[in-house]
Chains A and B, each alone.
Chain A
Amino acid sequence: MSIQLNDEDLAYLLTLLRNATQPVTTQQLIDALRRHSDQFRG
């Protein structure tokens, strides 16, 4: 069963991209998503 991102994840990723002035790599998005998940769970 593969993981699926929800609307909150999508909104977070779009915010990241909107604030970026340079292209963002997939690895940077993965790292950001992990940090966001960790922050929410304390």
Chain B
Amino acid sequence: MATDVATELTFAGSPKDREAASQVFKALAARGRFMSDNAPIRVPVAHVAAYLDAQGIKGGETKVRAIAEDNPGVFLLQGEGDAMVIVTSKAGRTPVLAEPPAVHSFKQRFMTPKPKSAAPVIPVRERARIDERWTTLVIDPSLIAADTDYEEEVEAVAETIAEIEQVIEAIEPAAELELEIEEVAAAASPSRTITSPVITPTDVTGVDDVELATAIRERLTSDPRVAVFGEQWMMEDRVPRFSRGDLRRVREYIQEQEQPLTDDAIVQDVFNVRVGSPDFELNRFAVNFRLSREKDFEFVGTGNQRFWSTTGLAPIGTTRRKPNELGSDYRYLLDETPAHIAYRSVDKVDHILTFFEFAHGLLPYDADLQRLLPMPVEDGQRAAVLTFECPQSYTTYLVELRFPTPNRGGFVLGLDDFFSENLVPGAHVTISRTENDGHYRVEYIAESSQSERLLELEERKSRYVFRPTTFACSADPAMLLTETMFGRLNGEKPLDEKVRKRPEAVVAATFERVGESRDGNFSASFATLLAGVNIERPMSAHLLRETLDKDDTGAFSRDPDLDDAYTYVPGTTP
């Protein structure tokens, strides 16, 4: 490469001088063979002279300087005396030896501190404007006059005090005089008294607790600062909050247990707060209050036993009929229940099981049961989960109380197992309350074991059959569906849904199934009819009596030959 450049270069002087210059360039180029084309290659003149001497070119340093001076485009001399160097570049051009610009360097950047930034301009704060009404305030002149009088009065009093003090100095102070001074000073006191209207607490003497509780509820419920659940109150900002993750864990735990859980269980198992710890009550309130605000959770508890349910849980009780259909079946209870009922006002309720109740494992939420069971804790509460304990079988059942709605009656679901294991249709059942408004005892009257052929619904073929049944409980003979009394039901199919929705049509069908045929008419006692109609649909004695007595078509009428019996004329079905 250096050789190529050396052959291309044209040096000045004689052929010997040009040869010498070429030798010098080759020597310098060899020295800087790893350097860039334009980088300066510096070699002392003395060294170059020694090289030329070795090559047989005489003349020493003078010769080298002469070569450099003759070829200024290729060589450059720098320095003086022994320190003189000859400079060139690989490209064969005199290198530009300009000093690099020193305006910027890393050293300078690292060593020189950054100048402080100028302080931002603080915007001028807007001054609060005084309400314009103050600037247009009209001052009553009489008040100004009064103030003037007041100042004069103060001056006069001060003069009086000064005079009195002079007298005091002259005469020995007397107690009466001091008193006078005090009175005058008090009269001249410039302090003003601002009286604010005093609101006295409401006189609650003679007001009963129920009325006072209503007043408290009315006043505090609307206040967003107050948290309320059931009969407990707190300031909202003091109630612990739950994260999305906490709520998810509660939901998953309830789903895992496959049944509604009480607030106690949630606090202990999900939040790991022990019963009896100082925070237990607070956390329990937090669970109830916070979950009541979440749409994924539903309160299904009572005042003492606060159950929480969530989405995805299997329903409690029968799946033969939907809860809405059962509610429609029990719609008649809405008319039979008084508007104002005293909840939990009775200790126990006796009930005779009907076939319909036995088959679906339910009880009607009639006036009797409403007097025994608790009222809804929350407004709009749909259901309450209760525990029914049977001390005779040492079993506790989780049942669901469906509260009535404006167009559906209420009922208690989930007693299928208890009924089928211990009872038969017509059995006497007693439900009694405990201290806990969510826990009840359900009992039957145990008797010696007996066998009867009793009515059953064969679900596979969807027809009624009689099967030998052994039971050991007391039962009402009129409601016991034996083959001897209701034998004609054998092999019958359940009534069509459209027919069973109409009580009068069910009564007519029941006459034909259980009544005694007499001259083409059917006659049956009221007790038999009651047991018979309750095979197909729930019907109270009151509703049955009303259906029979208030029939406008003339299909039903009292049987004059029998005590409390009715007849039905076929063909005039209502």
| Structural contact, B215 and A2, CB atoms closer than 8 A | yes
Q: Are A20 and B234 in contact (CB under 8 A)?
A: yes
Give Cα distance in the complex from A18 to B204, angstroms: 22
Within 8 A of A (CB), among B225-244: 225-226, 231-235, 238
Q: Is the CB of A37 within 8 A of B205?
A: yes
Contact B215 A17, beta carbon cutoff 8 Å? no
**B201 partner residues in chain A, CB cutoff 8 A:** 6, 8-9, 12, 33, 36-37, 40
Instruction: Name A's B-contacting residues (CB within 8 A).
Output: 2-10, 12-14, 17-18, 20-27, 29-30, 33-34, 36-38, 40-41
Q: Please indicate the chain A residues that have their CB under 8 angstroms from the CB of B216 in the complex.
A: 5, 13, 26, 29-30, 33
Most-contacted residue by chain B among A9, A10, A23, A33 (CB, 10 A): A23
Instruction: Determine if B336 is an interface residue (Cβ-Cβ < 8 Å).
Output: no
- List CB contacts (< 8 Å) of B186-207 with chain A: 199-205, 207
B199 pairs with A17, CB closer than 8 A: no
Contact with A along B204-230 (1 / 0, CB 8 A): 110101011111111110010110000
Is B541 an interface residue, CB under 8 A from the partner? no
6 pairs from A and B in contact (CB 8 Å cutoff): A10-B219, A13-B220, A21-B238, A22-B282, A33-B201, A40-B201
Query: In whole angstroms, what is the CA distance A17 to B282 when docked?
Result: 13
B233 touches A26 (CB 8 A): yes
Give complex CA distance A37, B204 in Å.
Answer: 7
Separation in Å of the B260 CB from the closest CB of chain A?
Answer: 22
Chain B residue at smallest Cβ distance from A4: B215
- Tally of A-B residue pairs with Cβ under 8 A? 98
Which B residues lie within 8 Å of A37 (CB)?
Answer: 201-205
Contact A3-B281, Cβ < 8 Å, known A9-B201, A26-B231, A41-B203:
no
B212 touches A33 (CB 8 A): yes
Q: Determine whether the beta carbon of A3 is less than 8 Å from that of B211.
A: yes
Chain B, 405-440, contact with A by CB distance < 8 Å: what is the 0/1 string?
A: 000000000000000000000000000000000000
Considering the chains assembled together, what is the distance between the CA atoms of A41 and B231 in angstroms? 28
**Which 8 pairs across A and B sit closest by C-beta, in order of nearness?**
A23-B232, A8-B199, A23-B285, A26-B231, A5-B219, A37-B204, A30-B212, A17-B235
B225 & A3 in contact (Cβ 8 Å cutoff)? no
How many whole Å from A8's CB to the nearest CB in chain B? 4
A13: min CB distance to chain B, Å: 6
Most A-side CB within 10 Å, residue of B202, B218, B232: B202
Q: Are A6 and B202 in contact (CB under 8 A)?
A: yes
Min distance, Cβ B235 to any Cβ of chain A, angstroms? 5
Query: Beyond A7-B199, A40-B200, A41-B203, is A30–B209 a contact (Cβ under 8 Å)?
Result: yes
Contacts of B285 in A (CB 8 A): 22-23
Q: Name the residue on B nearest A28 (C-beta).
A: B233
Complex interface: chain A residues within 8 A of B207 (CB): 3
Cβ contacts under 8 Å, A10 to chain B: 219-220, 223
**Contact (A2, B233) CB under 8 Å given A34-B204, A37-B205:** no
A27 CB contacts on chain B under 8 angstroms: 209, 213, 231
Partner of A13, one of B204, B219, B281: B219
CB distance from B223 to the nearest CB of A (A): 8
Instruction: Assess the B282–A29 pair: CB atoms within 8 A.
Output: no
List A contacts of B204 (CB < 8 A): 3, 33-34, 37
